[in-house]
């Protein structure tokens, strides 16, 4: 929704400032768009791995949806951590083995649909709980491994955005290419009337306009939004890490979850009382 509002604002303000003095018809130049967007996309394909192209397009389309990492998602995550730690503390680590091995069939995981819906998140949680069950309980080693995995995941998440940003930086240059080609075409009309020459010059200048608009009005903001979404995802993983490490260090489930709550970004962080009431409701 936010992406749609931003797009409508960009287009609306530009047209609102232009139309009182200009014609919309001169801005509609399919061949200019073909040169600019087609050339930029071709360069994008040359420079970018196939998986990053697919992911980048998917991430761009996904910006239409609201962020999944809201307060409810964090509340469910902390609730899951609490129930897992509580069960392991009361019945032993082996008691959560069945839940960890098949989280989608687990009634415990099933209580928290926003967590289980993201297979990367559920895999991250279960992988480290599986290590704990297997005897890997050194918090320093686990923390180092978590940091490596989170960094690798973040790099994978932002690489498509960086590739899209490079396209954004190239679009003005492709707009200039289109403008130069338009000037070349105009040169063949020098023996025509002034209005004919003016029309072709206008079309050539529209190429520069479209390249700059596409770059800084749409493509660069899209790449930035994808990076911001990856940062939100990274913060979610950091909360998981904080909870697990606190548990490994011997803190009680409620305290370990409180450690995790304090690591949640302020815009999505549930209040202490709010989380306490939620945990009481799911016991």
In a domain, 5, yes or no: no
Q: How confident is the model at residue 244 (pLDDT cuts 50, 70, 90)?
A: very high
Domain assignment of residue 154, given as a range: 29-283
Q: Do 265 and 247 meet the contact criterion of CB atoms below 8 Å apart?
A: no
Question: What would the mean pLDDT of 124-148 be, rounded to a whole number?
Answer: 93
In a domain, 134, yes or no: yes
In a domain, 18, yes or no: no
In a domain, 7, yes or no: no
Question: What would the mean pLDDT of 236-260 be, rounded to a whole number?
Answer: 95
Residue of 28 and 44 predicted with greater confidence: 44
Residues 6+ apart with CB under 8 A from 109: 80, 99, 103, 115, 116, 122
Q: Do 254 and 279 meet the contact criterion of CB atoms below 8 Å apart?
A: yes
In a domain, 193, yes or no: yes
Question: What would the mean pLDDT of 21-48 be, rounded to a whole number?
Answer: 90
Q: What is the pTM of this model?
A: 0.87
Q: How far apart are CA 4 and CA 228, in angstroms?
A: 17
Q: How confident is the model at residue 187 (pLDDT cuts 50, 70, 90)?
A: confident
In a domain, 225, yes or no: yes
The residue assigned the tokens 């009309």 is 189
Does position 150 have pLDDT exceeding 80, yes or no?
A: yes
Does position 283 have pLDDT exceeding 80, yes or no?
A: no
In a domain, 4, yes or no: no
**Structure tokens belonging to residue 7:** 């797009």
φ and ψ at residue 64, rounded to 5 degrees = -65, -30
Percentage of the chain modeled with pLDDT above 70: 100
Q: What is the pLDDT of residue 272?
A: 93
pLDDT-wise least confident of 26-40, 155-169, 259-273: 26-40
In a domain, 10, yes or no: no
Q: What is the pLDDT of residue 3?
A: 82
Q: What is the pLDDT of residue 203?
A: 85
Q: Do 33 and 178 meet the contact criterion of CB atoms below 8 Å apart?
A: no
Task: State how many domains the chain has.
Answer: 1
């Amino acid at each position: 929704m936010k992406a749609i509002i931003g797009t409508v604002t960009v287009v609306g303000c530009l047209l609102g400032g232009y139309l009182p003095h200009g014609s919309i018809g001169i801005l509609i130049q399919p061949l200019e768009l073909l040169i600019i967007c087609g050339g930029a996309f071709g360069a994008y394909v040359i420079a970018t791995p196939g998986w990053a192209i697919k992911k980048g397009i998917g991430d761009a389309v996904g910006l239409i949806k609201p962020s999944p990492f809201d307060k409810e998602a964090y509340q469910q995550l902390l609730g899951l951590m609490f129930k897992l730690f509580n069960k392991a503390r009361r019945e032993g680590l082996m008691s959560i083995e069945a839940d960890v091995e098949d989280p989608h069939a687990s009634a415990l995981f099933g209580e928290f649909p926003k967590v289980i819906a993201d297979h990367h998140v559920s895999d991250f949680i279960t992988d480290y709980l599986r290590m704990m069950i297997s005897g890997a309980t050194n918090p320093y080693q686990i923390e180092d491994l978590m940091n490596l995995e989170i960094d690798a995941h973040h790099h994978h998440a932002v690489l498509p955005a960086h590739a899209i940003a490079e396209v954004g930086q190239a679009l003005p240059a492709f707009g200039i290419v289109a403008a130069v080609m338009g000037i070349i075409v105009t040169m063949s009309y020098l023996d025509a009337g002034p209005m004919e020459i003016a029309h072709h010059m206008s079309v050539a200048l529209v190429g520069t306009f479209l390249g700059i608009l596409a770059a800084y009005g749409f493509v660069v903001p899209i790449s930035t939004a994808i990076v911001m979404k990856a940062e939100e995802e990274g913060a979610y993983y950091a909360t998981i890490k904080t909870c697990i490490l606190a548990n490994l260090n011997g803190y009680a489930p409620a305290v370990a979850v409180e450690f995790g709550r304090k690591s949640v970004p302020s815009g999505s962080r549930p209040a202490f009382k709010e989380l306490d009431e939620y945990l009481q409701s799911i016991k």
